[in-house]
Amino acid sequence: MRNKIFFGIMLGMVLSGLLAMYGCKPSGEKQAPEERSVVTAAEDSLTIVSLTPDQFRNAGIQLGNMEQRKLNDVLPVSGMVDVPPQSRISVTFPYGGFIRKINVLEGDYVKKGSLLARLENPEYVDLQESYLKNKSVLDYARQEYNRQKELYQADVAAGKSYQKARSDYESLEASVKALAQKLNMLGIPAETLKPDNIRSSVDIVAPDNGYVTRIAGNRGKYMDPQQELLEIDNIRNVHIDLTIYEKDINSVQPGQRVRFRLSGSQAEHKAKITLIGREIGPDRSVVLHAMPEDPNLRLLPGAYVQAHINRENALSDVLPEAAVVRSEGKQYIFVKEKDASYRFQMIPVQTGTEDNGYLQVELPGTRQIADSSIVVKGAFALLSALKNTGDDD
């Protein structure tokens, strides 16, 4: 009787265990999982993608190496068109006068010697009168001096009379020469001045070729001595003043190329740095000068420009731009795994200067990459395959 009871208990426990085991297993579950090893996570967090031979060929993937090149970095700057001080002329007059005529307008191009304005003042007449009077007295003083000199040398006249005649003559000669210089400053040739051609007005002429950029007077206005009447800019030596900051000073030097655009224009022009300022301003900036390469380029002083300075760096590790892909704000390259023809790792990299189709690339840490294992063409196709596979998971 005991044996029957024990056997019944044991049989019930076995049946209960079997029912529990089969009841917890989902219906329709396959015995072997489906093999999908396209994407796996590497231990060092590098993502891996595998392709079939057909996918590799269709993607047009090409492998290459890291190269070393000198890249031209670009420094964005701004500035203005300007002319050097020797090409900007302030037209003044050494004597005051009333403006009787202004012969130009702002923006006019004038040639050297052309009439700009005419001034009038009675003082001009007084100056011419003084010159003619002193010149006449000088002729008499010269004759008297020569006469006294002859008498003195013949021991006929006293030395005192000779010395006085000499003093009077030299004093008048100095006065006449000084008055002649003043007349020349007025534009009145002293050597041709006669009593019948004394005039009360003088002409102000252009001292050089250029454009009239400012007029400070008008007809009837009295101009004080040395007051600026006009300003002329000779644009033959027009240049560009660019502003750079202290941190960039050591990266620029004379001879570097500059590409610039005028405000409101998309046309790009070229220039070359000719001079770098030697003083740092209160805002920690330095002015550098660049000359346009096109001598026929018409630039207006004061125009605003935006420019880029090409800076040549030392040798850098670079890859073609197509080798670097961007995903979620980071940059990556793909590298073929060793002994695996169609298996690639996506490696994060730091990028720098971009120039002429190449991009400066820095690998993480001290990672070494085998020769001819970097995907230089078709990296985007690998990234797309990687993302699509990740979405399917």
The last residue of one of the domains, among 175, 199, 223, is 199
Residue 151 forms part of a structural domain: yes
**Does residue 65 form part of some domain?**
yes
Position 42 scores a pLDDT of 40
In a domain, 283, yes or no: no
Q: What is the pLDDT of residue 389?
A: 65
Residue 282 inside a domain? The answer is no
Q: Is the pLDDT of residue 154 over 90?
A: no
Mean predicted lDDT score pLDDT of the chain: 83
Q: Taking 50 as the threshold, does the pLDDT of residue 179 lie above it?
A: yes
CA distance linking residue 240 with residue 81, whole number of Å? 5
Q: Are 233 and 88 in contact (CB under 8 A)?
A: yes
Last residue of a domain, one of 199, 233, 249: 199
Q: Are the C-beta atoms of residues 238 and 82 closer than 8 Å to each other?
A: yes
Domains held by the chain: number = 2
pLDDT(230) > 70: yes
Stronger pLDDT, 158 or 191, i.e. the higher one: 191
We report the CATH number of the domain holding residue 53 as 2.40.420.20
Q: What is the mean pLDDT of residues 297-301?
A: 85
Please check the confidence at residue 5 and state whether its pLDDT lies above 70.
no
Region of poorest pLDDT, from 42-46, 290-294, 329-333, 356-360: 42-46
- So what's the pLDDT on residue 391? 55
pLDDT of residue 237: 81
Identity of residue 316: S
For residue 158, what is the domain's CATH number?
A: 1.10.287
Is residue 131 a part of any domain in this protein?
A: yes
CA distance 69 to 356: 11
Asked whether 88 and 239 are in contact (CB, 8 A), the reply is: no
Residues 6 or more apart whose Cβ sits within 8 Å of residue 146: none
Q: Is the pLDDT of residue 114 over 90?
A: yes
- Residues 319-371 have pLDDT tens digits of 999 999 998 888 999 998 887 788 898 989 988 778 788 888 888 876 778 77
Q: Cβ(113)–Cβ(201) under 8 Å?
A: no
Whether 106 is covered by a domain: the verdict is no
Q: Which residues contact 381 (CB under 8 A, 6 or more apart)?
A: 59, 60, 61
Residues 65, 132 within the same domain: no
Q: Does 174 map to a domain?
A: yes
Q: Which residue has the higher pLDDT, 353 or 85?
A: 85
Q: Is residue 211 included in any domain, yes or no?
A: no
Least confident of 6-20, 143-157, 312-326: 6-20
* Average pLDDT estimate for 150-157: 77
Domain span at 50: 39-71+315-392
**Residues 384 and 323 both lie in one domain:** yes
Tokens 């990687």 -> residue:
386
Which one is predicted more confidently, 160 or 275? 275
Tell which of 199, 215, 250 closes a domain. 199
Q: Pick 96 or 19 by higher pLDDT.
A: 96
Longest dimension (CA), the chain: 188
CB atoms within 10 A of CB 177: 12
Residue 312: its pLDDT value, please?
66
64 shares a domain with 127:
no
